A and B are shown apart, each in its own frame.
Chain A
Amino acid sequence: MANRWRNTLTSDDVTPEAMFVNRRQMMAGAAALGLGLTASPLRAAGLEPNSFEDITSYNNYYEFGTGKDDPARYADQLTTDPWTIKIDGLVEKPGDYALSDLVPQMTIEERIYRFRCVEAWSMVVPWNGFELADLLELVGVKSGAKYVAFETVLRPEEMPGTRFPVLDWPYREGLRLDEARHPLTLLATGIYGKPMPNQNGAPIRLVVPWKYGFKYAKSISRITLTDQEPPTSWNMANAREYGFYSNVNPEVAHPRWSQATERRIGGGLFAKREPTLMFNGYDEVASLYQGMDLRKNF
């Protein structure tokens, strides 16, 4: 059942870390000399994954603080082994699933996806993970189920950010069942072939590349199949700014900033803004929303 989706970005596009560092130094050198930057062909094609360092040092994971560097600083406090996911609601085989039993039954693939944050910055991330569809098949979805709800673990003693009511904890996210079953949708367990770093949502997180990054629930401790649209954290905090769908859409502005363009992280001080693509470039999901007004269902 795995391998339904093929990468257009392949592992050949992954820049070796050493070369990436060299290129960065060259760019910094050129910039310092006032020469400006000439975009590399790789960058022009938009195919170059961000360095492991960028991906693991610039994170939004408010359970560890609202600063971009807070997760890298504090997330090592989180115990990720052993880990169980409670799977309940409208499923044939509800229960507490140990991750160590679950993962060997799944096919782990590498998927190089564009990642677009609602804050109008973006990265390219080489994820390792399995299709959520495969897990849903394993647990058996009952016929009335229409949505999948995700919950991030809540451990105030390990997550300093949750001591403040920044959001209504625990962090909750949700997908429509057809979105959850789409072959692009992953449960990711690693990055760059390494186990998922804590600041990126270890041990297991959602990846939905055509949606804004906040939809990618991290450190998932519960998955619930429901017949109602589940409440989601950012929508609960500010419904005007964050819709349930939150598909990447350059035509629907966030009330506080435009979504028409994005800044690619890793391009240094003079990175040019790039146009944001509808569905973050994953046009194959367009059929999921046929007949829907995506301005209303933002």
Chain B
Amino acid sequence: MIDVVNRSVRAIPNWVLYVAGAVPVIWLYVLGFQNALGADPVDAIERNLGLWALWLLIAGLCITPLQRLTPLRLIKLRRPIGVVAFFYVLVHFLTWLVLDVQIPSQIVADIIKRPYVTVGMAALLLLLPLAVTSNNWSIRKMGARWRTVHKLVYPAVLLAGLHMVMQAKGFQLEPLVYLAAIAFLVAMRWMPLSSFRQAFVKR
């Protein structure tokens, strides 16, 4: 069964993954144009893209632990997931900028003065060099430094989770669950694997 999954994942051409990743964004905007996203389409687009980006970033963080703890080999998906996640973050940001806040002076003021915007903006900036270097040429060119640079994904996803928590009004559980899951996935990188192996894999 796991072999089938591993083999089919390997068989998918990358361009299929990128196209499949772009479809929900295009679809969301088509619905927006048709006024089919409810009373506040801008809010719907922002929320959905933000949430989907977070899902993808979390999925990306799961790949390495799964590889270490299970026979699942999904590493091939890591780059497409990361690049598509960045695309969602970017469209999320541009939607906020162009359709929501609109006014340039207010955009600048929001980024500086509103901590949740500052945090989200920081996450975007941390992801930018990762998106730019997500290609074979950069991996060859950068050598060992590539791995170091791509560790930026940990603070970036933590900030993305924090960005969600900071927007909640009142005491809301859902954003905290996301942040806790992210914190756990990041912390796993520094935990001894033997403790997990015993829990995950029956020998």
Contacts and interface: CB of A to CB of B under 8 A. Distances in A.
Contacts of A69: 38
A272 B102 contact: yes
Interface string A269-290: 1111100000000000000000
Contacts of B151: none
A268 B41 contact: yes
Interface of B: 32-35, 38-43, 45, 99-103, 106, 109-110, 113-116, 166-173
Contact of B110 (A121, A165, A258, A263): A258
B110 A68 contact: no
B38 A166 contact: no
A261 interface: yes
A54 interface: yes
A68 B40 contact: yes
A66 B40 contact: no
Contacts of B169: 66
A258 B103 CA distance: 11
A166 B40 contact: no
Contact of A257 (B33, B114, B168): B114
A32 interface: yes
A256 B167 contact: yes
A28 interface: yes
Given A58-B40, A260-B106, A268-B35, 7 more contacts: A28-B34, A57-B38, A121-B43, A166-B171, A253-B113, A268-B41, A270-B99
Contact of A167 (B33, B39, B103, B170): B170
Interface of A: 24-25, 27-28, 31-32, 50, 53-54, 57-58, 62, 66, 68-69, 121, 164-167, 234, 237-238, 253, 255-258, 260-261, 263, 265-266, 268-273
A18 to B, nearest CB: 16
A24 to B, nearest CB: 6
A269 B116 CA distance: 23
Contacts of B38: 57-58, 68-69
A265 B101 CA distance: 14
B170 A273 contact: no
Residue among A27, A54, A270 with the highest chain B CB neighbour number at 10 A: A270
Contacts of B168: 66
Nearest to A242: B169
Given A166-B171, A269-B33, A258 B106 contact: yes
Contacts of B110: 257-258
Nearest to A67: B47
B171 A57 contact: no
B28 to A, nearest CB: 11
Contacts of A28: 33-35
Residue among A54, A166, A234, A257 with the highest chain B CB neighbour number at 10 A: A257
19 contacts: A27-B35, A32-B33, A54-B39, A58-B38, A66-B169, A66-B170, A68-B38, A121-B40, A164-B171, A164-B172, A255-B114, A256-B167, A257-B110, A257-B114, A258-B109, A263-B42, A269-B32, A269-B33, A273-B103
A265 B38 CA distance: 10
B117 to A, nearest CB: 8
Nearest to A50: B39
Nearest to A260: B106
B43 A237 contact: no
Contacts of B114: 255-257
Nearest to A237: B170
B35 to A, nearest CB: 5
Contacts of B39: 50, 53-54, 57-58, 68, 265-266
